[in-house]
Structure 1
């Protein structure tokens, strides 16, 4: 019978499992089976007894931190799993204490499970990838805030790859740029997002080419073969490894079914899972859908705020912005209220497509001049807001808009303008601008006769040509001091040459030009002619008297009109005291703030102002209280009735007395035609008179010849 002591070593040596015995107190190895010697690549006869187990098996210089000696017993095996870094092998280990020659030794049986463990880990990793992908999908689908969803997704991806940074770049097809739109970065890494905006699309052309060929883009550490603008860009941001997958946008209609690169998703400096690029590609697919949804949502939101025909903000957007501005602290606000003239007529006679062109033409000009806050708030109504800018810049923009209206726009439009600084009341300013626009609108529609609109631009061009041709002439009527008989001034009156050579009075043409909004050309022409005449008068050594020039309210509503008049006056070297601006009571229809601004400009540039036609149709006493006039001119209709109408005498007498009490305002009576009228006016202490009793209006050459050197009448 074979002895048991001889059989056991044979069995152990022939086993495929690794077996060894060591002293648990000293860690010295006392036995290795053949499988263990082969696993350790030991030479035949190489001595192992006395060597330390942790040095021999693990390559360590001290006892293993995971040593199981404390867990061992003689009754049963202690089973555990371990990866041996030295042998690069996974083992199932069965440990037990065995007694030999009266001492306890450690017996360890090692079973190699590397193949099955790798398979298991691969399966676990695959499950981890799938779980990560599911988590990404849930993040995108369940989070209503799309930006938050994408940011959360990038965090999931970044942590899976244990990367420094995960990100999304998106292309802007309109300006051919690419921008970093989203990013996640781990703690200790700085954000690169602000530095990666609006990059030229050509900078990342290498990405596009690679995506077209292989659907992925890799840069791995120590890859010296890769070069180009992208590696240079990544190196600038301390990226030594990089993975990216494309985000495609399907465009079946516009692009005949071809894909267009919308952007890409990637990670920088991943420390694990670089072989699992499929995860990044799968996420890119779902992100592309989400970005498409986001763009559609943004487009729908944008459309809800935009006017479809013009691309300007619509009424809803305008109301929202007004409410926002009410909550803000505004330093200044300019308001431009615009209404298209004749839109209904154009729709009725030329069709709605032409009407749409008119609307688009006006909108184009508004968007060009006021791109920040421009809205179409009705069928033919627009409003533009100029927030926290200077008055000078606002007026410059208005000039640009007016030039557009004159030279490029295919239709006319009425415009109400208002600018305020300091304490801003938005509703009040908008209301003022609306009212001013309405005044212009009424002027416009005053020219509509029998459904046929006069062509504003055609009339303006015709008027300018007639002025250049000399069809208009300045006449002057003396103004006489009633106590001394001395000529103390004159009024410039416009005459127009008729087709038969006759001279037409202002009532034959002024109202037309005023209603068509072109009167400013004529008013400025008259003013310049008076400046020329005064310059000649001074040059010839005479002593000129102040000349009054009439200005329509429509003309005075223009931007920088007073500044323009001052420039004309200075160009001809005329002293400011020789020019008087005559306005009528209709000026009170201007918005109060604009009217105050106008009077401030008159004072700023040294002009004196006369209130003409007082008592004609109506009298606005408030205007006398709120404005500084140097002269009040009683209308001819009051003077005509002085002899026969006691009420007229009461009104005239009290008006003259009021002038005397209102800061010594000069009282001037117009239309004096007889001695009786003159006598009554003297009795009432009227200061100045004007009328045929003294002189009819004279051509300027005749006036200069008659009065240029003598001031006594």
Structure 2
């Protein structure tokens, strides 16, 4: 008895020791499994992405500076600073990485930092060389023009020829070695000429800048290429891969520890369960023995119910079913089998399923099917069979082998369904997914596949492939006036015309809206694409019969070629689209090939438009005020507010560059309201300062005039600043008024009742009807500067200016002449009765703090 108790105590002691060991192991595994920090990993990967972003932005700034889009190097300095800071932060490697991973990361980080330092040195050299080159490039043309403007002198023609060749090479980017050598030779010949006259001495001084341009242009170009191709990008990718590999290793190790932790916990849980099981085992055995008889009875009842259910399912199932013996002879079929195949049970019993064979599957197909049945006991797949009437149909067949008592296949059960309708639906869905529902042409999804196939064919045959992007001109006008149904009819007719022009191997796709894309694989010559494009434009330009109207709709197209313009579908489509927009800009109903010039211009416009979105919030927009004076006395009687954009990098940008962009992207409404509020605020400030203010005119765009509730907005702004309406004038173009004369007349009547003066700007350059002009309640006309600048040169514009003045006076309108720049123009206009002058002769556009002096004087002396 004592020995038994001692054995129990020893067993209990060992059990406690084992539990303590397992508990300690669980604690150690718990802390080891949680070492990998997701927050640290996210922080480090974010640093890697930031480093890559800063490096790409630095390259973009270098290229933009080289292209002349940037006037300073602040952006480069900013991203270099960010790269240094991010590189220092990357050196703090997460501690949970193993020693090998940490050493690899540290080595790659040092290599990346060293490469970035080399790149920084190249950027510094680029900035110095580019500054010298830019200064000489800007100074030399003006200085040379001034030198050549004087009297003739020896070597003048040789100097002029050299300067033209040098400037032409610089503007076109033609810096080939042969051209530079020729320029250096010409330069040396000019320098070898003795300087005998002051002009020759001045020429030698200018040739110093020419030498700087010739010497630094290749250097700057080479530095840009070196900077863009710096190895920092590749080293960053290697660093990222190394870190991700090390992170994956750490995660795998943590996962291993968690697995061990889970296994040990399960062992402890199993041990606890085992103890409980031992306690309850005897009791459950008794209960099991008691319930065994009831279970057997219930099992027999369930088997009988299942057999009855199986019989019902076999008889009433919608799927066809066959049961065969071990030799594949049919021993039973259900009614659905007869319905699908047309055979009666008597016609197939005792025969093999080969009675349904359609002949579409090969012997190898059936051999593989039986091999699968023998190995796994099951097979399923799509198969084509034949009905009794000879019709072939697809079915989805599942075969299961039922083993006998010896384990061999005793029977086979086949279950199948007719999938004819599903196959037809799949075909319809596939066609709808890859074709345009309106025209039946391939859609954008199928277009990329056709371009990919065309690229493969062109690569194998070493021929060109063309992608033509076509857009119907002014298609929106048809939709807006005749309705979308007529527009859809036009698109269908256009698609049919395009198909008749193209070859069978070509592809015409509808990109969306009124945009079409043509893929021309395996072209012999570049001009073949132009020939096909011209045929397409000619066919599309023929008259259409739409809703009882015969309408002519032209199209514009852009062409991109493989391999000259790209080797991917996205690149070719993008460049063809850019070429198409260039064709629209140059008059429509034509086509253009893609060129690098188009890409560069598009990039510049895109960057400018992107910066324009934040110009108002960054307070980069300014208003300058140009004075208006009385034509007889020269007294200041008004001003016009002109918007300017002080770009943070490119400096002052002219309105003709950013105003059209603002009108296209919808910013012009916000800009226009800002201008009115700014003018009113300035008027209020001048009044509060005790100045005698004058009315200020603000230009109103077509978008603002049409879309905004202009009278309500003006009333609100005038009330906010407590101004009388006589201090604000509006200037509208005649084309704007004629777009919707009835709406314009109603709007002008409201403004007149508000006592707000309205002038028609740029009069004579648009189109208008004098009968409508008499109905518009405006107070003045502005003669466009194009007529004023011709005064003094014997031409028709002089008579037009005087005629406009006479006509305006007949209509009781005042006349304002803009662009008056000399006394000859002022005298002519004054003699013919012009009422007000505006131009450089009386004052340039100036900031508000400069305009204050004019308000104080309230009189100009006639010359500014």
TM-score (norm 2): 0.31
- Asked which structure has the greater CA Rg, the reply is 1
Structure with the bigger percentage of strand: 1
The TM-score normalised by the length of structure 1 is 0.37
The structure with the greater share of residues assigned to helix is: 2
